[in-house]
A and B are shown apart, each in its own frame.
Chain A
Amino acid sequence: MACGGDTAAPATPSATTTASAATTPTAPPVTGEIIVSAASSLTEAFTDTVKAFEAKYAGTKVTLNFASSAALATQVNEGSPADVFASADKAQMDNVKAERKAASGAVFALNRLVIAKPKGSTAVATYADLAKPNLKLVLAADGVPVGNYAIQSLAAAEKSVAFGAGFQTKVMANVKSREANVRAVLTKVQLGEADAAIVYSTDIATAPEVEPVAIPDAYNVTAEYFIAPLTGGKNAKTAAAFVAFVRGAEGQAFLTKRGFTSPPR
Chain B
Amino acid sequence: MTLRRPSGITLAVVLLATVFALFFLLPFAGLIWRAIEDPRAREALGDPAVGTALRVSLITTLISVALSLLFGTPVAYLLARRQIPGGAVLDALLDLPIVLPPTVAGVALLTAFGRRGLLGEPIEAFTGLSLPFTMLAVIVAQTFVAAPLYVRAARAGFEAVDPELEAIARTLGASRAHVFRRITIPLARGPLLAGAVLCWARALGELGATLIFAGSLAGRTQTLPLAVIAAFEGGPLGLPGAVALSLVLLAVALLLLGTLRLVAKRGLA
- Which residues of A line the B interface, CB within 8 A? 67-71, 73-74, 77-78, 92, 136, 138, 141-144, 175-181, 188, 191-193
A141 contacts which of B114, B115, B221, B234 (Cβ < 8 Å)? Answer: B234
Given A74-B239, A179-B216, A191-B110, output 14 extra A-B contacts at Cβ < 8 Å: A71-B234, A74-B232, A92-B234, A138-B215, A142-B230, A143-B236, A177-B215, A177-B216, A179-B215, A180-B211, A180-B229, A191-B116, A193-B130, A193-B132
Interface secondary structure of A, over-half rule: mixed
- C-alpha gap A181/B79 in the complex (Å): 44
Given contacts A141-B216, A176-B215, A178-B216, contact A193 B234 (CB under 8 A): no
- C-alpha gap A188/B215 in the complex (Å): 9
B116 touches A192 (CB 8 A): yes
Interface size class of B (residues with CB under 8 A): 20 to 34
- C-alpha gap A143/B116 in the complex (Å): 30
B234 touches A74 (CB 8 A): yes
B114 contacts which of A67, A77, A143, A191 (Cβ < 8 Å)? Answer: A191
Closest to B242 in A: A74
Contacts of B232 in A (CB 8 A): 71, 74
Contacts of A141 in B (CB 8 A): 216, 230, 233-235
CB proximity of B27 to chain A, nearest CB, Å = 14
CB proximity of B169 to chain A, nearest CB, Å = 51
Contacts of B158 in A (CB 8 A): none
A71 touches B114 (CB 8 A): no
A177 touches B217 (CB 8 A): yes
Closest to A177 in B: B215
Q: With an 8 A cutoff between CB atoms, is B133 at the interface? A: yes
Contacts of B239 in A (CB 8 A): 74, 77-78
- C-alpha gap A67/B215 in the complex (Å): 17
Contacts of B238 in A (CB 8 A): 143
Closest to A193 in B: B132
10 tightest Cβ-Cβ pairs between the two chains A and B = A70-B234, A177-B215, A143-B234, A176-B133, A71-B233, A192-B116, A193-B132, A143-B235, A142-B235, A180-B233
